[in-house]
Amino acid sequence: MSKEPSTNLESAMQMLIKTFHKYSGKEGDKYTLSRGELRELLTEELGNYLGNAQDKDAVERVMNDLDSNNDGEVDFTEFIILMGALTVACNDFFLDSPAPKKADGKAGGDEKKE
């Protein structure tokens, strides 16, 4: 870990690793996220993308989807699968929106033909 990341991709990989361990180390097994740690991570780090992660049900659903071995913990591989799926969804969203749209309830509705 002596080298600093020198490209955007290397930084992205380091950020994913560091963010996971920032939360996974808080309680219990320090290499996995408990429900509480997952909730904190989703709320604090992905608030913009997952607006309603505060919603208890949403965290419960994400946890159940991710926790493929049903141990109530999300390990790093499961976390990376979530991040991959979110990134693909995010990419698709931008590809599907050729022009920037307003995000405040008027998406796509403010175009006028003349």
* Contact set with its own copies (CB under 8 A): 1-3, 5-13, 15-20, 31, 44-49, 76-77, 80-81, 83-84, 86-88, 90-91, 94-95, 100, 103
Nearer to its own copies, 7 or 70 (CB): 7
Cβ atoms of 65 and 73 closer than 8 Å: no
Number of C-beta neighbours around residue 45 at 10 A = 16
Note the residue count of the chain: 114
Nearer to its own copies, 67 or 114 (CB): 67
Nearer to its own copies, 21 or 113 (CB): 21
Question: What is the distance, to the nearest Å, from the Cα of residue 16 to the centroid of all Cα atoms in its chain?
Answer: 10
Which helix (H) or strand (E) segment holds residue 80: the answer is helix 76-96
Min dist CB 35 to its own copies, Å, is 18
Nearer to its own copies, 77 or 114 (CB): 77
Instruction: Measure the CA–CA gap between 111 and 9, rounded to whole angstroms.
Output: 36
Min dist CB 90 to its own copies, Å, is 6
